[in-house]
Amino acid sequence: MADFGHIAIVAAFVVACYAAIVGPLSAHLRAPDLLQSARNGVYAVALLLTLASATLMAAFVTHDFSIKYVAEHSSRDMPASLVAAAFYSGQQGSLLYWAWTLSLFSAIVMLQNRRTARDFMGYLIGTLMVVAGFFGLILGFVASPFEKTLIVPAEGLGLNPLLYDSGMLYHPPMLLAGYMSWTIPFAFAVAALASRRLDAEWIRATRRYALVAWAILGVGNLLGAWWAYRVLGWGGYWGWDPVENSAFMPFLVGTAFIHSIMIQERRGMLKVWNMALVMVAFYLCIFGTFVVRSGVISSVHSFAQSSIGPYFLVFLSAAVIGSLALLWYRLPYLRSDNQLDSMLSREASFLMNNLLFVGLVFAIFWGTIFPLVSEAVQGTKITVGPPFFNQVAGPIMIGLLVLMGIAPLMPWRKASPDALLRSFVVPLGAALVTATGLLLFAPNGATAIASLTACAFVTATIAQEFWRGSVARGQATGEALPRAFGSLVRRNNRRYGGYVVHLGVVLMAAAITASSMYQLERTARLRPGEALEIGGYRLTYNGLRERQEPGVRVVEAQLAVQSGNQLLGAVTPDKRFHRNFERQPSTQVAIRTTPFEDLYVVLAGWDPDGSASFIVFVNPLVVWLWAGGVIALLGTFVAMWPAPRPRAVTAPAPSPAFAVGRA
């Protein structure tokens, strides 16, 4: 079985190399037969990597411990779902997952772009297959998931206890797929440059794939936060860990891209800048995959250290140099069609947005790699912990929030100051009321007040946009208001979908602000029967209990939760000792969620006399962080929904520059 999987990977590598050469060659020679062959190559790579993945999955499900990767990452007594998830729990498997999903996405792109210009497709295939080929090289010859064990063990080592959680089923596949999916917009950019087809069409196509990649990466990040919140036990969901940062950076650059690309669509400006953004997003995704899997920067995610680092560095450098050289070479084709008309315009506010996003990414990048820099420069590792990121990123993020309220009110090209002032009355009023209220009742620092005031401002802006749009449409068509609202969103789904995403982001921002700035924390060592009080809760410790689950010894503390005289129920935070990992117990935090706050109880340790120590937090509004994420995702779906355009269905006259290849 191991041999079969290995052969499939090597074959995929060979075919990817073939397609990577033949694709661009077909564009160069204008040979449609060769292009068809390269296309078939893409399908073949997808098939071969699917076979390889299915083989590895089968090895996991049948507990085939003759394969080292299976023996090191699973055991017989693990729940079936986690056995399946162990597929991507280590380096080799997660790289195989990356390559496999890339091959599937590439095949889908092939199917969706059957009518796209041939030379464009040739270079597109070339780019996609170079990336796939690189992963094939790693998987086939450097870090093979199908390496065999010398002596077949009777039982596997099992999963790293930190991964022993349902979060394992969602977060890694989403995040890795998010990294992977930025390859598609990158390949479109390279193909557009190489084939000189830099008209509106590639932007339209790329935007859709970029939005998909952005959504997947965003959900992956949020799921990571959710997981960390539930199992790491320090009361928060985001620790500015290097791996978290690496996943966040391409998301931020991607966010800048999906905004500034609108300027290019509307006004034909910023062509070089957008190219650069989409390329940087891809570099950061490769960098992120490298960081999470190489252990070069120490992190809670470094489960394996290995030899793939140099390969990734060489590949990343080659990608950076190659694509930037191509961009440089094509600069004459990327002149702006239009100029800026006014500082008071949507364009100008998007430029501001880009500045802040890029500045934010730089700050995070700098903080993430600085320990390496300091080690190289002065020989000691300087730690850059969460306080740095909070102090630097916090204000920039508040700036972005404020911009999110201003930009939608700015018209394209040029605003008339009078109309602009009128549209700011309601949002500014809302901001003023919020700020006053906070100062009077919850004066918890300038940052918190600024952030929550900005949230109110943005919410009012968006509500006003929906209201004005619906009323205007109702007057124009005679529809009743709810109906006008519906058709408004349906007909302008990109705009109003975007607003829904913004609403989700505002909710998340408010939740993050509240849960970090208004957090309560208390530590206590309690003997059975003693209680601790925090934020109106009274927690009475009723002793420890030990139980055995398959492969895990669980020690849980029992606490009764009271509010005033009312008994709210019991919470049971625990520690889990997994077999083979007894010295590395994992934490299960007990969380009691209400719409207003989370009561978050961690069992920190215990002593022979039966007393136990606890860390207890009250985190306000955390549930709205997750809800905001869901709303933002829904908004993304609205924005991506195909607009009811007759042109898109029939497409009788493809644009000459794009769709006509050489016969």
Partner 1 sequence: MVPRGWTAAPVAAPGRASLLVGLLLLLLSLPGVAWADPLDEEARRIGKGLQCPVCQGASVADSPSDLATQMRAQIRRKLEQGDNEEQIVAYFVERYGDGVLISPPRRGLGLAVWLAPIGVLMMGAVVLGLVLRRWLTHRTRPPLEAPTEPAMNRNGSVAVAATAHSNGSVALASTVHLNGSVTSATADASTSRVRDELDRFRRDA
Span 529-588, contacts to partner 1 by CB under 8 A: 529-533, 538, 542-546, 555, 575, 577, 582-585
Q: Which positions ≥6 away from 281 have C-beta within 8 Å?
A: 182, 185, 186, 250, 253, 254, 257
Q: Per rule CB under 8 A, is residue 122 in the interface with partner 1?
A: no
User: Using the rule CB under 8 A, which residue among 396, 406, 407, 460 binds partner 1?
Assistant: 396
Q: Which positions ≥6 away from 220 have C-beta within 8 Å?
A: 171, 174, 175, 176, 177, 178, 247
**Least distance between partner 1 and beta carbon 627 (Å):** 27
Binding footprint of partner 1, residue count (CB under 8 A) = 87
User: Using the rule CB under 8 A, which residue among 327, 340, 344, 428 binds partner 1?
Assistant: 340
Q: Per rule CB under 8 A, is residue 28 in the interface with partner 1?
A: no
User: Using the rule CB under 8 A, which residue among 114, 151, 383, 441 binds partner 1?
Assistant: 383
The neighbour count for residue 409, using CB atoms within 10 Å, is 18
**Least distance between partner 1 and beta carbon 363 (Å):** 4
User: Using the rule CB under 8 A, which residue among 76, 115, 204, 381 binds partner 1?
Assistant: 381
d(CA 573, CA 586): 11
Query: Residue type for 134, please?
Result: F
Q: Per rule CB under 8 A, is residue 417 in the interface with partner 1?
A: no
Torsion of CA 305, 163, 217, 288, to 10 degrees: -10
Cα–Cα distances in angstroms (integers) from residue 497 to residues 217, 486, 618, in the given order? 18, 12, 34
Q: Which stretch binds partner 1 (CB under 8 A): 9-17, 309-317, 358-366, 443-451?
A: 358-366
Q: Which stretch binds partner 1 (CB under 8 A): 170-178, 349-357, 463-471, 590-598?
A: 349-357
Q: Which positions ≥6 away from 49 have C-beta within 8 Å?
A: 8, 9, 12, 96, 99, 100, 103, 132
Q: Which stretch binds partner 1 (CB under 8 A): 66-74, 361-369, 442-450, 510-518?
A: 361-369
**Least distance between partner 1 and beta carbon 587 (Å):** 8
Cβ nearer to partner 1, comparing 54 with 340: 340
User: Using the rule CB under 8 A, which residue among 242, 427, 551, 620 binds partner 1?
Assistant: 242
Please name the residue that has the structure tokens 């002596």: 151
Q: Which of residues 293-322 bind partner 1 (CB under 8 A)?
A: 298-300, 302
User: Using the rule CB under 8 A, which residue among 111, 152, 318, 382 binds partner 1?
Assistant: 382
Closest C-alpha among 458, 503, 466, 513 to residue 631:
503
Please name the residue that has the structure tokens 């694709």: 23
Cβ nearer to partner 1, comparing 466 with 606: 606
Q: Which stretch binds partner 1 (CB under 8 A): 46-54, 257-265, 363-371, 465-473?
A: 363-371
Q: Which stretch binds partner 1 (CB under 8 A): 129-137, 327-335, 422-430, 497-505?
A: 327-335
DSSP string computed for 450-466 = HHHHHHHHHHHHHHHHH
> 3-state DSSP call for residue 602?
strand
Q: Per rule CB under 8 A, is residue 413 in the interface with partner 1?
A: no
> What does the block give as tokens for 648?
């898109």
> What does the block give as tokens for 79?
């729940």
Cβ nearer to partner 1, comparing 28 with 468: 28
